[in-house]
Amino acid sequence: MNLKFFGAWLGLASLFCALPATAQTTGLDLARASNCLSCHQVDGRRVGPSFTLVARRFAGQAGAVDYLASTIRSGGRGRWGAVPMPAQPQVSPEQAKAIAEWILTLDQAPARKP
């Protein structure tokens, strides 16, 4: 095998292997920076449901990312119990989408403690 080709292939392979970890780190970092962890934990209940439980409820549903991103920004009530989720308008639509995408990865990934 051509050594240049092998080196290029190895570089691409390492990039693709790193993508899920990068996405999860970015999502977790955004959740931390947006104070999501004040009410939610990755794998345990605090005030609101765990992100892992949210991921399980919405796994495989069309439109789940947009729905969760909208809920992050506009809040919600009555879906997980009596305590409403306050709106988080300081979270940009792009950040909310990134957090929602990260949350949905938790259905397949082992939970990481913050």
For the segment 22-32, what is each residue's pLDDT rounded down to a tens digit? 445 688 999 99
Q: What is the pLDDT of residue 108?
A: 74
Q: Where do the structural domains in the chain lie, given as residue ranges?
A: 22-76+84-114
Write the class of the CATH domain 22-76+84-114.
mainly alpha
CB 105 within 8 A of CB 98: no
Q: What is the pLDDT of residue 14?
A: 40
pTM score, two decimals?
Answer: 0.72
For the segment 103-112, what is each residue's pLDDT rounded down to a tens digit? 999 987 554 5
**Would you tell me how many other CB atoms lie within 10 Å of the CB of residue 71?**
17
Selection from 31, 50, 54, 26 nearest residue 40 by Cα: 50
Check pLDDT > 90 for residue 4. no
Q: Give 35-66 as a DSSP string.
A: TGGGT--SSS-SSS--HHHHHHHHTT-TTHHH
pLDDT band at 65 (very low <50, low <70, confident <90, very high): very high
pLDDT band at 57 (very low <50, low <70, confident <90, very high): very high
